[in-house]
Structure 1
Amino acid sequence: MPRFFYSLIFLLCLPLILLRLLYRAWRAPAYARRWAERFALGGDLRAGGIWVHAVSVGESIAAAPMVRELLARHPELPVTMTCMTPTGSEQIRKLFGDRVGHAYLPYDLPWLQRRLIRRLAPRVAIIMETELWPNLVAECRRAGVPVVLANARLSERSARGYRRVLPLVRPMFAALDWVAVQSAAEAQRFAALGVRDTAMTVTGSIKFDLKPSPAVIEAAAQWRAGWGQRPVWIAASTHAGEDEPVLQAHRQLLERHPRALLILVPRHPERFDGVARLVQQSGLSLVRRSRGAQPGEADQVFLGDSMGELMQFYACADLAFVGGSLIPGGGHNYLEPAALGLPVLSGPHRFNFAEISQLLEQAGALVEVADAAAMAAQVQAWLDDDVARERAGEAGRKVVEANQGALEQLLQGISRLL
């Protein structure tokens, strides 16, 4: 009965959802395309194989090693990936081209999910992290499709939100066939919401199984060689409200290191132009990646306004600030810079990656900063002390290597359900 009312409310809110989609299309034109897929029509669906759902860019990148292994281990089974955002869609196509099918996930109404599942006829549905929808899970169960929650994470904040609607979500959690969860603390939260103990394994995070591409590292080395001997730091995946303190910290840093270069990579493409204006208004000289130019000696900020190149930007830097953490966004993937041996800065809001960030912090690889002054001071400290900076970066790399192995456990669990 709770799911009936959920579906009814969702249906009644659909005009508002479509208006919001129109508003997002006004800001980012890609949202205006492929609307039929949001109603389970069209799309490149490859029936009878493996279905992977990754909501957006971060989840698509996290899923990539798993998808590559599934394609290699089960070549007879086609893979279809769904997502919710144009940036996620672009990332999937950049990662896999035509090797996988791809479409947007439809809205979570039972007849739309039923239509998608009927067209896909998947052997297994793999949902990345926490992108759970009551009707999606219920319709998979009705169709006899096993559902795996892969690389599952659940912050205390998210768990509190689920507990407010427990009558609706408990059947959804109880219906999951297998949850590969990142940590024991998160496993307890999932169990409290209804996941069966027998259907859950603590595997760790597959994000630890990140292996930077040699081609990316080589391309970054070529970029960096053309910039001369200058200190470089990166502020990656920044959100609105974070660029200002980052630029303020960079201005302070330039007083001691006048040749320092900041690579600034906003999280969302619709913010690229606005952030470029913000840099110019701050009085700092700017070069944009989208224009095809490389930073010259006089340039102080390199704006990473491109898609799919974050690891290459990281590989150019001496240290990294990871965004979504100065504002209450929960942070982003700290393991990407750590895997490259970069010391990491984070704001205080790390709840999306609490356990991972704590591991890095305890190893001396991550330092929390609360504002521009603290950020500038720590960036300067690491740039002034090569030994301390390299020690912190190596500590982070060791944390990544010591926690690898989750991907193999995940793949074995999926194979048992195929």
Structure 2
Amino acid sequence: MGQSLVLAIHLFLAGRNGSGEPPARPVRNPGRLVWFHCAADTSMTSLGHLATLLKAQARDVSVLVTTDSQSGQRAAQLPKDVICDAAPPEQGQAAARFLDHWRPDLMVLFGSSLPAVSLVEAHRRGVPVLLANALKPDTGWITRLFRRGMTRSLLGRLKGIMAQDAEAVRWYLALGRGLPPVDMTGRIEETAAPLTCSEAERSALAEVLSARPIWLAIACPEPEEDAVLAAHQGAMRFAHRLLLILAPANPARGDALAAKITAKGWAVARRSLDEDPAPETQVFLADGEAEAGLWYRLAPVCYIGGTLTGVGGCPNPFEAAALGSAIIHGPDSGAYPRAFARLKAASATRPITSPDELPEAVDALTAPDRAALLAHNAWATSSGGAEVAARVVDRILAEITPVKDGTV
């Protein structure tokens, strides 16, 4: 491949730096390792979902994540089994030490990040490199890479480019010969794998509740409990058989919540006591082990707890979307601002701005046609992101799976 003069100068200068003390790094696990490196604006939630999908299909694979701007807050959004480390600086010795330690089987760059020194060093060692979620670069990106020739020289070291859209495909192809294959996989978006549950439990409870309208308040923090109960009281005026499944953010609140509900003169059943809701039960307190996948499947409408007060964070809304539950949420999006924004843009949620609006929202969505429309839009948005994630994972697996006797 052609070597850009600007790239050669950049690598020469980088080789003269980086003789400082190497940082302490986490221990490398046995087996294969895939290194995800991403731009500072990349969604950690989407990377975490990719890592989960990848590890589900290749259990011996570890996933390492570095970013252009590493922070503990961003790392906290990743699954616990994903390794986080500081990216090596653009210095030759630092990149070499990083690769000596981690020995990745594959490097995957996401978005606009093209760390020249690490990319060139990985390529020199025979580590395949992919670029995913690639957009047509803006002027700022080209400026950071100094010149088009340097861009072409770096991209020529890749094994493949996965572009977000047709415009990006055209831009990369226009760079000329010597580039790797360019595929349009779509934009990697935040999504969530469908939560699991016991099918026997779901079937049994669905039969018990088959004739009742249901709504769910999931991960409800203590400061929002009164608002949720007030909304239920208001909605029951128009749907007297309405059942609230109330899943507190802290299951230890079960006793206090049950007392609060009973004081209203309502009938309550508790999951932690292995009680099933009876026909007269008005609140089913889901104060047992984490079973969000079960509750989303049973409730056609859900309120995402924590979004009115911001207390305790909130669940990923795509968990509800993937299982067909229409979403009500407040103004606080916790760790998932992009997810809520995407769903809102797709007319896939019922946003509210204050607790006073919750009763009306619940009442409106007890109409099955309205709830079904929101749930469909949310599911379509969620499934589109899941398809892109699956294509990217398939490409990664194709690169790290050895070929034997003409078969994979």
TM range (shorter): 0.5 to 0.7
Distance 1:219 1:272, change over 3 A: closer
Work out the CA distance in 2 between the residues paired with 1:278 and 1:205: 40
1:317 aligns with 2:277: no
In structure 2, the residue matched to 1:336 is 319
Say if 1:324 and 1:330, in contact at 8 Å, map to a contact too: yes
Tell me the amino acid that sits aligned with residue 382 of structure 1: L
1:394 aligns with 2:394: no
Determine what percentage of the aligned residue pairs are the same residue: 18
In structure 1, the residue matched to 2:15 is none
Tell me the amino acid that sits aligned with residue 280 of structure 1: A
Say if 1:363 and 1:396, in contact at 8 Å, map to a contact too: yes
In structure 2, the residue matched to 1:277 is 256
In structure 2, the residue matched to 1:255 is 237
1:298 to 256, 280, 301: 280
Q: CA deviation at 1:291?
A: 2.1
Q: CA deviation at 1:412?
A: 1.9
Q: CA deviation at 1:218?
A: 6.4
1:146 aligns with 2:104: yes
Say if 1:140 and 1:146, in contact at 8 Å, map to a contact too: no
Q: CA deviation at 1:217?
A: 5.8
In structure 2, the residue matched to 1:32 is none
Say if 2:50 and 2:393, in contact at 8 Å, map to a contact too: no
Work out the CA distance in 2 between the residues paired with 1:206 and 1:304: 31
Secondary structure, counterpart of 1:241 in structure 2: helix
Distance 1:70 1:234, change over 3 A: same
Distance 1:412 1:252, change over 3 A: same
Distance 1:205 1:414, change over 3 A: same
Say if 2:214 and 2:299, in contact at 8 Å, map to a contact too: yes
Distance 1:46 1:133, change over 3 A: closer
Distance 1:152 1:337, change over 3 A: farther
1:111-149 deviation digits (Å, cap 9, x = unpaired) = xxxxxxxxxxxxxxxx65998443999886450333989
Work out the CA distance in 1 between the residues paired with 2:288 and 2:47: 18
Q: Comparing both structures, which one devotes a greater share of its residues to helix?
A: 1
Unpaired stretches in structure 1, ≥5 consecutive residues: 9-38, 72-77, 83-107, 109-126, 154-170
Q: CA deviation at 1:378?
A: 0.7
Work out the CA distance in 2 between the residues paired with 1:250 and 1:52: 48
Secondary structure, counterpart of 1:352 in structure 2: coil
Tell me the amino acid that sits aligned with residue 143 of structure 1: H
1:70 to 38, 49, 58: 58
Q: Map 1:3-152; keep pairs closer than 5 Å.
A: 47-50=30-33, 64-71=52-59, 78-79=60-61, 128=79, 132-134=84-86, 141-146=99-104
Q: CA deviation at 1:239?
A: 3.4
Between structure 1 and structure 2, the one with the greater Rg is 2
TM-score (norm 2): 0.58
TM-score (norm 1): 0.56
1:371 aligns with 2:354: yes
Say if 2:34 and 2:108, in contact at 8 Å, map to a contact too: no
Distance 1:48 1:363, change over 3 A: closer
